[in-house]
Structure 1
């Protein structure tokens, strides 16, 4: 069994208060009865179960696996002290929703209501079957133990040159039209080494656009990283001769760097992005 706590709470903070009136919703009666003694709540037995801490939603909301370390009844509320399992990567509600039958969460409305349920499912067995295993990590730069792709994030790998500013605008417009936000490494400054920012951005991205124009070696390196990490990569170029020989078997978008050409690039990128997103 496991506890499912679906509340819009700050789970990583470790301290959460929830209303007792939402206890045992979406819980089979015979299971709820195991954690009551008459009218008393058997908190010690209940908090011994592993927990899935979620926020409401069916998309990219972050969920965590962990446990309740302490629970106190304060009036009509429960004050909880929780900890997250460092060996289990953060999950996304989209993954949980896709596997809702295996987690005994058949009702859609369960993802739209704050509640505490108890499910007769082996949570860790489910995780072993459905969460990607740890990956071997490089030494030149760092990637997290478990990947966390942001479903609405796209990134652009291109030369840092003023001549490409309008091209980046065209890429951003295509992303925006597709329901994505687009960033490139010079939009952020999180690490001392720029390569770490670049890799972190690629690793989080749902789609990576690589502009091969001018045969920039950095872009080629970044395209290789994106392919290795399994990201959806869209190649664009101003000349087909700038596409590396090893990549010419892949589809790419050729564009002209003028107003009309960039407009056409936006349309072509938008169509490709929507296809990759399943729209």
Structure 2
């Protein structure tokens, strides 16, 4: 069973109220009898049920799943507090309307009246069978369910060739100037597979600097991971032709791999990182 509470309120507020005479509307009598004490709603028993929180309508109105955390009768109103289930993505009234028989809402006009009903339906089984599953997680590498960004960590994705050693030094200097520390995947050995170290480093980083010089496929792959994870990515390259076609609409820092060019790179990167950090 579940509570269906339909009200035109801000469901993100965590609180609401409803006239007591609107409780048990559109509820079967034998269900209603289970939640009455001396003719009044048994709020303790109702609180034990999961909830579907809705506004009136059959379109793109937002529907939430959650739980009552408190409820009491005040005069002719039931005042209640609730929490929303963060593991269930918000739905829309249209989604529920298309499946109205499955949630025991066969009458269209039930979608146009503020009320509190109790439905003899397993809400979570309904959701499990009806809502799209979460996006498939990667199998080549692992990412933690909850991100843990280190606010002072930057990472550099670049070729490991010797000619890029001084470039990495300039990137490290820029990070230091901006109050960050910079690491590269070959600085760490935490996992048996290097790709896992690379991904873990990207996932923890506040800023990811990707050197596309030489069109290194590993760097392109790592830039894609960083963008997918929502990290702040700074592209650098020795030639604009090194930037992949799909990324050429993004700004990048062009540099020359000589003493003067690397100093200019460090200056440009420092400014860009400071802008990202809001300094």
C-alpha distance in structure 1 between counterparts of 2:85 and 2:163, whole Å: 47
Q: How far off its partner does 1:137 sit? A: 2.5
In terms of Rg, which structure is larger?
2
Could you list the per-position Cα deviations for residues 167-205 of structure 1 after superposition, in whole angstroms to 9, with x for gaps in the alignment? 000000000000000000000000010000000000000
Give the corresponding residue for 1:264.
Answer: 264
Could you list the per-position Cα deviations for residues 242-278 of structure 1 after superposition, in whole angstroms to 9, with x for gaps in the alignment? 0000000000000000000000000000000000001
Aligned alpha-carbon RMSD (Å): 1.9
Any idea what SS the aligned residue of 1:208 has?
strand
C-alpha distance in structure 1 between counterparts of 2:136 and 2:196, whole Å: 17
Give the corresponding residue for 2:236.
Answer: 236
Structure 1 stretches of 5 or more lacking a match? Answer: 1-121
Q: How far off its partner does 1:236 sit? A: 0.1
* Aligned positions of 1:39-50 closer than 5 A: none
Give the corresponding residue for 1:155.
Answer: 155
Any idea what SS the aligned residue of 2:233 has?
strand
C-alpha distance in structure 2 between counterparts of 1:180 and 1:266, whole Å: 13
Change (3 A) 1:158 1:127: farther
Any idea what SS the aligned residue of 1:148 has?
coil
Give the corresponding residue for 1:181.
Answer: 181
Change (3 A) 1:227 1:126: same
C-alpha distance in structure 1 between counterparts of 2:208 and 2:148, whole Å: 15
* Aligned positions of 1:44-63 closer than 5 A: none
- Contact persistence 1:135–1:145 (CA under 8 A): no
C-alpha distance in structure 1 between counterparts of 2:85 and 2:186, whole Å: 36
- Contact persistence 1:137–1:145 (CA under 8 A): no
The normalised TM-score by structure 2 is: 0.52
C-alpha distance in structure 2 between counterparts of 1:162 and 1:171, whole Å: 15
- Contact persistence 1:135–1:146 (CA under 8 A): no
Give the corresponding residue for 1:276.
Answer: 276
Structure 2 stretches of 5 or more lacking a match? Answer: 1-80, 88-133
* Aligned positions of 1:1-279 closer than 5 A: 125=83, 128=86, 137-279=137-279
C-alpha distance in structure 1 between counterparts of 2:137 and 2:175, whole Å: 29
Change (3 A) 1:225 1:257: same
C-alpha distance in structure 2 between counterparts of 1:206 and 1:272, whole Å: 13
C-alpha distance in structure 1 between counterparts of 2:167 and 2:210, whole Å: 12
